[in-house]
Structures are given as C-alpha cells and as structure tokens.
Amino acid sequence: MRYRKLGRTNFEVSDIGYGAWGIGGKQWLGGQDDESLQALRRAIDLGVNFIDTALAYGDGHSEQLIGQVVRETGHKIYVATKVPPKNRIWPAVSGTPIAEVFPYDYILSCAEESLRNLGLETIDLLQLHVWTDDWVDRDEWKRALEDLRRSGKVQTVGVSASDHDPDSALQVMATGLIDAVQVIYNIFDQTPETKMFPLALERNIGILARVPLDEGALSGHFTEDIAFPAGDFREWYFRGDRKRQVVQHVDALRRDLDGNASIPDVALRFCLSHPAVSTVIPGMRTRRHVESNTALSDVGALAQETLSVLKRHAWDRNFYS
Ligand SMILES: NC(=O)c1ccc[n+]([C@@H]2O[C@H](COP(=O)([O-])OP(=O)(O)OC[C@H]3O[C@@H](n4cnc5c(N)ncnc54)[C@H](OP(=O)(O)O)[C@@H]3O)[C@@H](O)[C@H]2O)c1
C-alpha cells in the first residue's frame, strides 16, 4: 500500500481508502454486517488507513461498524465523517439560509453523535455533507468547526462538494479554512481537473476522490438487465433508460482500451493518476472487492497514453437529479 499526504495535515493516508456508505445499509441493500466487518478488517490488514463515512449512512450504522473495527485494531486509522444537512436536502440548494442547514449548535451536536457512534475520542476529519459557496462568509460553520477543533473532538475539517459541480466549493477552498474536500472524480466526470485540482495543489488541500466507480456503472459487470433490490438507491440512480446509456458508454470504453483491461481497475487507477488526489474511496462491502482494489495501490498510475484515451470518455450528465 502506498500513502499520500492529506493536503496540509500531517496525515499519511493510504491512496486506496474505504468508502463506507454501502455498509450503512438502508440505501444500499443486500449487504450483511458480518461481511462488512470482515471487509473492513481485511482492508486494514492490507494497509488501508483512511475510512470515509457519515452520520447519515444508515443513520449512524456505518459509523458504528467502523468504530468497532477501529477500536479493536492496533493501527492508526483515520476516520472521516460528515455532518448531514439539518433540512435533509442533498445537495445544497443555492439561496438556502445556512440557519436551515448548518446552525452552530446543530453542527456540534452531530459531531457528538458521530463520536458516540464511533466510540472514539476524536474525529480525524469532519466534513460538512453538503456545501454551497453562498455560505462562505457566514460565521456559524466557521465557529462550530473551529470550536470543535479547539476542543480536540475534531482534528481537521472539510466539505463535500455538490454532485458533478466541483466549482461550487472553490471559494471555501480559497479561504484557507478547510483541510480537505471530497468530490466526484471518475472516468465519466473529470471536471475537477479543470479548476478544483489546480487550486487544491496550490493551496495544499487534501482531495478525497469519491464515487470512483460511478455507483457501480464502472464495476465491469453492469448490464442492461442488472437488477437491484427493491428500494436500493441504485434502483433510482439507474432508472429509466439509464442502464442502456451506461452499457453504451462502458462498451465504448472497453473498445478503446486493451481488450483484457479490467474496468474497475482502470477506473481506480485513473483516480490514482492525478497528483491532487490524496485518496480514492471506493465503496466496498466484500473482502473480494477490498483485495482487488487495495492491490491497485502498488500498480499505481496509468500510462499517459491510456489517460489520453480516457479523456475521450468524459460524460456530462447528472443521474442524481
Ligand atoms: N455526498 C457525499 O459526500 C458522498 C456521496 C456518495 C459517496 N460518497 C463517499 O464515496 C464513497 C464511494 O462512493 P460509492 O460507494 O457511492 O460508489 P462507488 O465507489 O462508485 O461504487 C461502489 C460500488 O462498486 C462496487 N465495487 C467496489 N469495488 C469493486 C470492484 N473491484 N469490482 C467491481 N465492483 C466493485 C461496490 O460493490 P460492493 O458494495 O458490493 O462491494 C459498489 O456496488 C462512498 O462509500 C462514500 O464514502 C460521498
């Protein structure tokens, strides 16, 4: 496993991190806690030391599973979690008063709840789960995050940028008040390369590359007939004729790549290839996925010719809306 510095922090994080939305259940169905715990433990055995979760993932269930595993291991594991929007609206809607989303007391009480779920003394990275630069000059979030940091309950802070809209977090990055940003970055959405990544490098802000497999579209086994459990988030995300669109785009990608290329391997190595990325956080619920994904860290970046091919496969769309 290789490690990268998380921006200006002193955290040396595994470049393959652990995305822990799926293990929360509720929105990702079909998983089993036993299997998730085994996957988490295997990831730590293989050198993963960065886990991204959120209070909202299974209403604290993801945090509880992570806390159990982190408390039992002798290794330092960096845990990143998130404060959900008080109005429960994802992503942030421009023009919404911050009082409806992140009032001061609410941020503090969510951090306390996450600490109880995790059973830990401190949160290594606390992120606001939604963000709009409308709030950049507001005082509430700054005071809350600063007070949490000063009390030692939180070590570093960040925000999660809106789906397919990395530019919505450029102003907060420029304030120098945050340590990390998480953003959708994958073969289909390469937009963070234009403005966000250069700014992150200039300001030394950590980048968490989220949704690297486009919620499974880049898993390598996506078909037009793929079925998800009733009520699973992916049933909604891939609704209508979206499965057909995905298959067309992935087929085009396969044709352009070496015939034997593994799509998830190329997708994760694509993220590892950008120097602004501190860690890529694929969602994983099984040991099998943990083992194949962590093995890519040592393989590392893609060749420049392959990256040039992948440039042609950027796909401008938003399945979250
Ligand atoms: N707003 C936000 O802040 C936000 C939003 C979305 C995600 N996130 C974060 O980003 C993380 C990653 O995103 P995600 O989990 O939504 O989606 P993702 O990482 O793009 O895709 C996850 C899917 O890929 C599958 N997978 C993983 N490794 C694989 C492999 N080697 N081969 C084939 N399939 C593989 C997983 O299967 P299994 O689950 O069966 O292992 C799961 O179905 C989340 O877990 C969360 O931490 C944050």
Assess whether the C-beta atom of 192 lies below 6 angstroms from ligand 1.
no
Per-residue pLDDT of the chain (321 residues; tens, 9 = 90+): 999 999 999 999 999 999 999 999 999 999 999 999 999 999 999 999 999 999 999 999 999 999 999 999 999 999 999 999 999 999 999 999 999 999 999 999 999 999 999 999 999 999 999 999 999 999 999 999 999 999 999 999 999 999 999 999 999 999 999 999 999 999 999 999 999 999 999 999 999 999 999 999 999 999 999 999 999 999 999 999 999 999 999 999 999 997 789 999 999 999 999 999 999 999 999 999 999 999 999 999 999 999 999 999 999 999 999
Q: Is 81 helix (H, G, I), strand (E, B) or coil?
A: strand
Return the structure tokens found at 182.
Answer: 């998480």
Radius of gyration for the chain, computed over Cα atoms and rounded to the nearest angstrom: 19
Assess whether the C-beta atom of 214 lies below 6 angstroms from ligand 1.
yes
Distance CA 4, CA 259 (A): 31
What pTM was computed for the model? 0.98
Query: At 266, which amino acid appears?
Result: V
- Distance from residue 233's CA to the centre of ligand 1 (Å): 12
For residue 50, list its beta bridge partners. Answer: 78
Ligand 1 atom with minimal separation from the 265 CA = 31
Residue 288, CA distances (Å) to 32, 84, 177 in order: 14, 30, 38
DSSP 24: G
Nearest CA to ligand 1 atom 6: 211
Q: What is the DSSP string of 208-276?
A: EEE-TTGGGTTSS---TT----TT-HHHHHTTTTHHHHHHHHHHHHHHHS-TT--HHHHHHHHHHTSTT
Assess whether the C-beta atom of 22 lies below 6 angstroms from ligand 1.
yes
Assess whether the C-beta atom of 210 lies below 6 angstroms from ligand 1.
yes
Between helices 304-311 and 263-272, what is the axis angle to 10°? 100
